Amino acid sequence: MNYKEKVAKAIFDADIGLQLEEIMDIVEVPADDKMGDFAFPCFKLAKVLRKAPPMIAKDIAEKIGANPLFEKVEQVNAYVNMFLSKEEFVKDILTRVQSEGDAFGRSNLGEGKTVIVEYSSPNIAKPFHIGHIRSTVIGNAIYKLYDALGYKTVRINHLGDYGTQFGKMICAYRHWGNEEDVKREPIKTLLEYYTKFHVEVETHPELEDEARAIFADLEKGKEEEVRLWQWFRDESLKEFTRVYDMLGITFDSYAGESFYSDKMPAIEKELEEKGLLKESNGAMIVDLEPYGMTPALIKKSDGSSLYITRDLAAANYRKEHYNFYKNLYIVASQQNLHFQQWIKILELMGREWAHDCVHIPFGLVSLEDGTMSTRHGRVVFLEDVLNRAVEQTKEIILEKNANAENVDEIAKAVGIGAVIFQELSNSKIKDYVFSWEKVLNFEGETGPYVQYAHARACSVLRKAGEDVVKAASATDALDMKYLVSPAAYKLAKEIYDFPQAIVEAAEKYEPSVLTRHIIDIAQSFNKFYYEEHILVDDEAEKKAKVALVLAAKTTLKNGLGLLGVNAPEKM
Ligand code: ARG
């Protein structure tokens, strides 16, 4: 039973004439902890109980006042303010963290259900740039949150590895390409070919037909075209994987757009049979005007298939293959219309699971020196950003301590962690400006700040020594009277709320809920650290305080881990 349930039960047992569920709905956590740990507003009860709210509150306060769950119960106007017995509460939560350890925060809420998380999904032969960080990092955190809640998860990278642009790319390669260059620097080189194609086609329009014919051959599976396409894909994936490795990210499937090339005819046929397909200037569309949307282009006049058709095929395949409970797409808000059209078509096709597919949009990232733009060649590669973060972090560490150990390893954990953390700090739908100063600030609400709090906790534990830490782990034998100060109690309460923050972050598809919560824990830990003497002479006091440090450390580490950020023990 959690504390809210315990509180509701206490009120229920006072026999005030309400059902337990009704009481649960009314119990709240006051914004100001001076009003207690829980409050029970009685306004709504006046009608049912035929009494003035303050009278009801007074009555309840008197009836539950003696319950050992509470240290104090007050009636203030229409409210019952309840203060938990701090020592029991702190003991309870420390025991829980101690026994669950690395698993603290995890649960089996989602047992037996499969959640697909589709994220990152870059286009092959195109730069993996700073803009890709959002889907990649937010998606990875959402996957980790669902995994922590006991769901079976499938991580899919829906690579953009199909479409007429590959006809152009192969065409360009044949005219101006060279194998060595591609091998040396695949993405840059392929991008150059692609750009050259667009320049040349202005004066040689016949290239357009050539490229179209090549793509048609590719779709038919002609050996040479497929070989080149496969090679471009492999080389691109090698570059992407370098970045994924730096970020500590892996996928269960790279079934991208090309994977659905043979699964589209069935979709087209079904749309046709269900009378959803219409001809328009030689192309096939689904008319979405009745739903206030522009038509969805399913098949071009030259017979080639389109992005949305592949997404329809993908949703179907995933349902059949994984029987998902939820199928999540972490894709920029620029594609809102695409996903609205797509879900409407799934609905029209009669898929009763259409709304188990969820588009999770996010805003734009831009750089301080202007928006990022692929079209004008101002591409900022994600790999370069990550490398720079690591280098700058190394400088900061060496500035602070010229003899720091394992600098490279720590700089990697902190530098990359900082970039990831920043990405997950704000509500994801907001546009934001990537700022180096903010990312690497050790004092602000940043990754390094939280990592530093964790490393500080580790350092306290090292100084306390193994024996004390061992004794502190036996929470039953500790005297909790040392942990009821405002700073200690606040920290304990935030640790208690950690599992709920995970649930909330997952349900809202909003990792920042968790990020904000672990920033709170780091801040409360630092306050506790500065305000109180932890490694005191008194053994009993020291053990109790070390136990709280241990719980904070475990929670920070688990929290960072769920965001995809490492927690070094020394910084
Ligand atoms: N490859 C696309 C892009 O870079 C993103 C793919 C999103 N996923 C999807 N199922 N449509 O814009």
Give one DSSP letter per residue of 524-570, joined into a string.
HHHHHHHHS--S-S-HHHHHHHHHHHHHHHHHHHHHHHHHT----S-
Q: How far is the CA of 335 from the centre of ligand 1 (A)?
A: 8
Query: Rounded distance, CA 205 to CA 170, Å?
Result: 16
Asked if 187 and 128 count as a contact pair (C-beta separation under 8 A), the reply is yes
| Helices then strands, each counted (H, E), the chain | 22, 12
Close Cβ partners of 377 (under 8 Å, ≥ 6 residues apart): none
Q: How far is the centre of ligand 1, averaged over its atoms, from the C-alpha of 462 (Å)?
A: 47
> Atom 1 of ligand 1 has which residue's CA nearest to it?
160
CB 360 within 8 Å of CB 508: no
For the residues 285-291, what does the mean pLDDT come to?
97
At position 5, the amino acid (one-letter code) is: E
Residue 497, phi then psi, degrees to nearest 5: -80, -5
**Residue nearest ligand 1's atom 6 by CA:** 121
33: enclosing H helix or E strand: none
Structure tokens at 388: 């720079």
Q: What is the pLDDT of residues 511-535, one digit of tens each?
A: 999 999 999 999 999 999 999 999 9
Host H or E run for residue 277: strand 277-280
Ligand 1 atom nearest to CA at 314: 10
What is the distance in A from the centroid of ligand 1 to the CA of 136? 12
Which candidate in 86, 91, 132, 545 is catalytic? 132
Question: Does ligand 1 lie within 6 Å of residue 333's CB atom?
Answer: no
Split at pLDDT 50, 70, 90, the class of 275 is very high
Nearest to 164 by CA among 125, 218, 124: 218
pLDDT of residue 48: 86
Say if ligand 1 is within 6 A of residue 120 CB. no
Is 132 part of the annotated catalytic residue set?
Answer: yes
Name the one residue in this structure whose structure tokens are 């990649």: 136
Measured CA angle at 422 (ends 417, 426), to 5 deg: 145
* DSSP secondary structure letters along 382-447: HHHHHHHHHHHHHHHHHHH-TT-TTHHHHHHHHHHHHHHHHHTTS-TTS-EEE-HHHHT-SSSSSH
- Return the percent helix, strand and coil in the chain, to nearest 5: 60, 10, 30
Among the residue ranges 14-28, 331-345, 458-472, the one predicted with the least confidence is 14-28
Residue 82 has pLDDT above 90, yes or no: yes
Q: Cα–Cα distance between 285 and 283 in angstroms, integer?
A: 6
Q: Which residue has the tokens 């091998």?
A: 183
Q: Are 122 and 132 in contact (CB under 8 A)?
A: yes
CA of 362 to the centre of ligand 1 (A): 13
Element (H, E) at 80: strand 79-84
Active site residue 198: no
What are the pLDDT digits (tens) for 407-446? 999 999 999 999 999 999 989 898 888 887 888 887 889 9
d(CA 210, CA 123): 22
Instruction: Indicate the pLDDT class of residue 378, thresholds 50, 70 and 90.
Output: low
Residue 535's pLDDT is: 97
DSSP conformation class of 235? H
Q: What percent of the chain shows pLDDT beyond 90?
A: 84
How many other CB atoms are there within 10 angstroms of residue 463's CB atom? Answer: 11
What are the Cα distances from residue 71, in Å, to 4, 36, 40? 15, 10, 16
Contact 187, 125 (CB under 8 A): yes
pLDDT value at 44 more than 60: yes
pLDDT digits over 122-168, tens only? 999 888 988 899 999 999 999 999 999 999 999 999 999 998 889 99
Mutate to test the pocket of ligand 1, among 156, 158, 311, 345 (most ligand atoms within 8 A of CB): 158
Q: Left (φ > 0), alpha (ψ -120 to 50) or beta: where does 151 sit?
A: beta
> Does ligand 1 have an atom closer than 6 angstroms to the CB of 123?
yes
What pTM, to 2 d.p., does this model score? 0.94
pLDDT of residue 435: 82
403: exposed, middle or buried (Cβ count in 10 Å: 0-12, 13-18, 19+): exposed
Residue 82 and residue 40 in contact, taking contact as beta carbons nearer than 8 Å: yes
Instruction: State the chain's mean pLDDT as an integer.
Output: 94
Enumerate residues 6+ apart whose C-beta is below 8 A from 338.
307, 308, 311
- Confirm or reject: Cβ of 497 under 6 Å from ligand 1: no
Q: State how far the Cα of 93 lies from the Cα of 493, in Å rounded to an integer.
A: 8
3-class state of residue 348 by DSSP: helix
Nearest CA to ligand 1 atom 11: 311
Q: Which two tokens stand for residue 123?
A: 């286009």
Of these residues, 126, 152, 263, 278, which one is catalytic? 126
- Residue 181 to residues 88, 192, 236: CA-CA distances in angstroms? 68, 11, 13
Nearest CA, atom 3, ligand 1 = 122
- Whether 331 lines ligand 1, by a CB cut-off of 6 Å, is yes
Determine the distance separating the centroid of ligand 1 and the alpha carbon of 354, expressed in angstroms.
Answer: 18
**CA–centroid distance, residue 15 to ligand 1 (Å):** 57
Closest Cα to residue 349, out of 303, 289, 302, 288?
A: 288
Catalytic residue among 86, 129, 454, 545: 129
Q: Is 355 a catalytic residue?
A: no
CA of 425 to the centre of ligand 1 (A): 23
pLDDT tens digits, 533-550:
999 999 999 999 999 999
Q: Is 121 in the pocket of ligand 1 (CB under 6 A)?
A: yes
Domains in the chain, please, with CATH?
3-84 (3.30.1360.70), 114-366 (3.40.50.620), 383-563 (1.10.730.10)
Tokens read off for 147? 């995994």
Instruction: Tell which residue, 438, 448, 445, 436, has the closest CA to residue 380.
Output: 436
pLDDT at 510: 98
**Residue 158 beta carbon below 6 angstroms from any ligand 1 atom:** yes
Q: How large is the C-alpha radius of gyration of the chain?
A: 29
| Cβ-based neighbour number of residue 63 at 10 Å | 17
Biggest CA-to-CA distance, the chain: 90
Mutate to test the pocket of ligand 1, among 128, 254, 331, 338 (most ligand atoms within 8 A of CB): 331
